[in-house]
Structure 1
Amino acid sequence: MKYEEKRERKFQEKWQNEFPWVELDTTGQLMTCKVCKAYPELSDRESAFVKGCCNMRKDTLTAHDQNKKHKFCIDRSISDKRELCSLQAKNGVDMGSMYRNDKGCKTFIEHIANSEIEKIKKDVMESRYFSVLSDGSTDSSITEQEAVYIRYIGPEGKPQTECCDIVSLETADASGVLQDIDRALETIGIDENAFKSKLVGCNFDGAAVMMGKKGGVAAKVKERVPHAVAIHCVAHNLELAVLESVKTVPYLSKFDTTVKNIFLFYYYSPKKRRELRAISDLLDENAAYFSGMKQVRWLASRHRALKAIEKHYAVTVIHLENTASGKTADAAKAKGILNDFKSHKFVKFLHFMIDVTNILSMLSQGYQRDDLFITDVVRNLEKAMWQLKELQQNKGEMGRKFEEHFNTELKTFSCGKESTQTVKLDACPANSTSSDKQQSSFLEAVVEYMDKRFTVLQHPAFSDVTVSLFNDIWVLFRFIRFCTTVHVQAPYLSYVYVYAVVPYAIYIYICKPV
């Protein structure tokens, strides 16, 4: 007994061969079951292996391995794959009879995972530099998880992005997050020496714990690697710039509420959606449908939402008016929505915002591309800002459509598939000067906030790239001048000039530094 009390028990690495589901926390003091944590709806949430077991004994592992709820989780993790084998067999694929069980599946998965990890390790070690991307979220078991990715130049000279690991955070402060990022990087062979010698940048969201100038993860990374460039995720930064600019025009808050109310009114009611479709069929219009609005990718989701409202505007107005005239519980809601929905200002802003979000959603989607390059960020941003400034001077396609279909005398708006449906708008102003000023003010704010939020692009790491490209075009021009001096045959010279120099010069102009 005295020996047992004094003995300091430690985790034995050989246990993982027998119990592959066990994992240690960053402190090395607690054991957890990664399978039970992956299926919180099936596991025993009060189990020590879900919360963290400090009893470093093999018999505790054996006991958990025999636990019924743990076995349910194991079966669930494998059952999806077993069904895939049955499906392939029905399709005529000879799946054989071997390895079609839990152990065989685990073996295959482990070998595939190890093979992929070794491949990534080799490519990263051969690459001259890399950058780290990381983002956090909370899973269904209310456990904070950090997804860690690495971006590097692959063997073919193209940027590659690979997932290192998804790690559970022990602590959500900057030190804890960075510690878990290090742990994820270690899975692909990046130790402290490789981290300091090859890391050139890191990319996070704008949370204070990540981008805080004094104690954030980015600041701590720069303490270890002074030359590393910390970047706020460009797609996320764009979303924030637009959200900030929306606050500068008070009416846009009301407009946003009306749009959300429309989707909430229909999305959770199959009955209302059936009624909408019935009206669509009666009017020979496209079937009206309002899907859920996503909050993660605000710009792309918002553009689709506004397009849906514009497309089904007449059908929606008719249904809301019918609902509002009844005595159901939804009558008051329908009346409240109609107050702004049928106003001249809402319809005009609807068409205006479709033009704006069309530009911004394309920029946002471009920033989410896997093959995004540094010069693409600058070029796409400047292109979008130029388009927004052009929208201040001249109305966009949807803005012109509204003016063409609005009858100023009758105060009616023609809409629908063939513009054959007529809706009488309320609160029509004598002139549109006020709303035009608000739209111009909003566009100015969008450009201003985008410019402020992307000042990091003035960092030499970005601006020097476009400068070097400009130097390349200057070399081409000097080559042309040299060819002229030595009397190179004119046809060949003209081909070089027309098909190489001129297009490249235009490209460089678009990509010029901010």
Structure 2
Amino acid sequence: MANFFNLKFFDGAKPGMKRKTVSDLSRENNKKQYESKRERDFQSSWQKTRPWLIHEDGKMFCKWCKDTNPDSDSTFIKGCENIRIDSLKTHEKSKQHLRSVDRHVNVNEQPTSQATSCLTKLNKSQIGQLSIKMRTAHFIAKHHKSFLDYKHICELDKMKGLDVGTSYTTDKGGATLLQSISSVTRADVCQSITSAKFFSFTCDGSSDFTGDDYESIYTRTCTNGVIQDQFLSIGIAKSASSSDIHDHICENFAKLGLENEFKAKLVGLCSDGASNMQGHKSGLVALLRKTHPHIVTVHCLAHRLELAFKDTIKKVPLYEKMMTLLLGLYYLYRKSPKLKMGLKRSFEAHQTKMLLPTRVGGTRWLPHLDLAIRNFIRGYKAVRSHLESSSHTSPKAEGLAKIAGDSNLLGFVLSLQAVIQPLVRLSLNLQKDDQTLADDHCHVEATRAVLSHLTEKVWQYRGQSCNSSLPVSS
């Protein structure tokens, strides 16, 4: 009772309260000193859920409150220096901020009438129809199909239940859509050239089935270490002379608005070794050096590999004999359905998969030659037996059968297959889009090492065969 009686002498005293010890007081003082010296940093994660929050000059502002009440004395309008999450939560609950949020939402919401919603749905439907037809037109061009097939594919899409509409469903409509696609793609290519610090281009000639000669131009740019090879244009020059090709290239760059880039950023040219391209006196290289003395010209490495292979192999008589055999087999079975059916029965009799002779040569010569040799070796038994059985009625088959039975030729074909495989891998690597000269040098050195190792193995085999044929001394 005496303890309760003494409570009246202490202001704010309550029963059961413990007096603070010295350790508790020191802890509170340390905390106050820590809070007074503490420097709080603004957390960027606070802005993820608060689009109105702005942090400038070490202060926090409320953008929405500043827009609605710029003359207010609120802390978040003048700038809050208390960088704490509690300050943000307190401001979010204030009436002024809630009114600013409502006003901001009402201003940004656009009234949607029934007519507006119908128009939006109509636009979405038209966009869906155009996307289907543009994909079809892109497929037609990508796979070298006729635009007459475009109309039938659109009819097929209708039968599948796809809404393709009624416009742009003819072959002319497909060509119009493809022109739009090409213009957008070409604009991206031009933009990559404009944004690059420098560029080079590759020029090569080609011909279509009508016999017209076309000059195609590919550009190579490097932006932030990323190499891009992109198709720029294709067209017909007045002639195959170097001056006409030079004028054709300049006109193409000028039409695309890249005349200044062509003058200031061109640093390299890659082409084949024809005299009208690489000629030092009157070739395209010589004409470009007049305006671009710093230009670096490169003879296409894939072309050089083909020329080096042909210069080496043309001295071997068996090579011409092999080419005669492979070309003869290709045209023999291509132009005679009767002989092709007989070859099929021959493969069935030998219980092997049918492999027709393929064409030697083409756009990628070494890979095509390798494919023709592989098919000939795999189907040799069936092809030779059919040629021998058909030799009684076909003089061509009789002549090819005699060539195919030459043991020296067969040994040469097998040896050439072993040599040509690393060259084929090198050719395909040289034709990749993202290759640099440093990468090509590594591939060339690796191919040299493989061929050197193959040569050593051949000489070792010849030495063993010669030793085995020598008479044993008594």
Matched ranges for 1:184-199 at <5 A: 184-191=252-259, 193-199=260-266
Question: Hey, what does 2:430 align to over in structure 1?
Answer: 367
Question: Hey, what does 1:297 align to over in structure 2?
Answer: 364
Closer, same or farther in 2 for the Cα pair 1:173/1:322, shift >3 Å? Answer: same
Q: 2:163 aligns with which of 94, 97, 102?
A: 94
Give the deviation of 1:107 after TM superposition.
Answer: 5.1
Q: 1:157 aligns with which of 218, 222, 225?
A: 225
Q: Give the Cα separation in 2 of the matches to 1:112 and 1:286.
A: 43
Code of the aligned partner of 1:359 = P
| Paired residues of 1:129 and 1:199 also in contact (CA < 8 A) | yes
Q: Give the Cα separation in 1 of the matches to 2:293 and 2:202.
A: 17
Question: Hey, what does 1:118 align to over in structure 2?
Answer: 187
Listed one character per residue, the Cα deviations across residues 197-247 of structure 1 (whole Å, up to 9, x for unaligned) are: 211111111211111111101121122211111111111121111111112
Question: Hey, what does 2:246 align to over in structure 1?
Answer: 178
Question: Hey, what does 2:389 align to over in structure 1?
Answer: 322
| Paired residues of 1:148 and 1:184 also in contact (CA < 8 A) | no
Question: Hey, what does 1:466 align to over in structure 2?
Answer: none
Q: 2:439 aligns with which of 356, 376, 379?
A: 376
Check if 1:281 corresponds to 2:344: no
Closer, same or farther in 2 for the Cα pair 1:305/1:110, shift >3 Å? Answer: closer
Check if 1:344 corresponds to 2:407: yes
Q: Give the Cα separation in 1 of the matches to 2:286 and 2:354.
A: 52
Closer, same or farther in 2 for the Cα pair 1:225/1:263, shift >3 Å? Answer: same
Closer, same or farther in 2 for the Cα pair 1:78/1:351, shift >3 Å? Answer: closer
| Paired residues of 1:288 and 1:315 also in contact (CA < 8 A) | no
Q: Give the Cα separation in 2 of the matches to 1:129 and 1:272.
A: 57
Matched ranges for 1:95-494 at <5 A: 95-101=164-170, 105=174, 108-154=177-223, 157-191=225-259, 193-324=260-391, 326=392, 328=393, 330=394, 332-395=395-458
Q: Give the Cα separation in 2 of the matches to 1:253 and 1:337.
A: 14
How many residue pairs get matched?
A: 323
SS in 2 for 1:394: helix
SS in 2 for 1:202: strand
| Paired residues of 2:150 and 2:170 also in contact (CA < 8 A) | no
RMSD (Å), alpha carbons: 2.9
Bigger radius of gyration = 2
SS in 2 for 1:180: helix
SS in 2 for 1:92: coil
| Percent of aligned pairs sharing the same letter | 28
Give the deviation of 1:100 after TM superposition.
Answer: 3.4
| Paired residues of 1:133 and 1:202 also in contact (CA < 8 A) | yes
Give the deviation of 1:356 after TM superposition.
Answer: 1.3
- Taking CA–CA contacts closer than 8 Å with sequence separation of 6 or more, which of the two structures ends up with the larger relative contact order? 1
- TM-score of the pair, normalised by structure 1: 0.58
Q: Give the Cα separation in 1 of the matches to 2:355 and 2:181.
A: 46
Give the deviation of 1:105 after TM superposition.
Answer: 4.5
Q: Give the Cα separation in 2 of the matches to 1:351 and 1:342.
A: 14
Q: Give the Cα separation in 1 of the matches to 2:453 and 2:434.
A: 28
SS in 2 for 1:380: helix
Give the deviation of 1:77 after TM superposition.
Answer: 7.8
Closer, same or farther in 2 for the Cα pair 1:104/1:140, shift >3 Å? Answer: closer
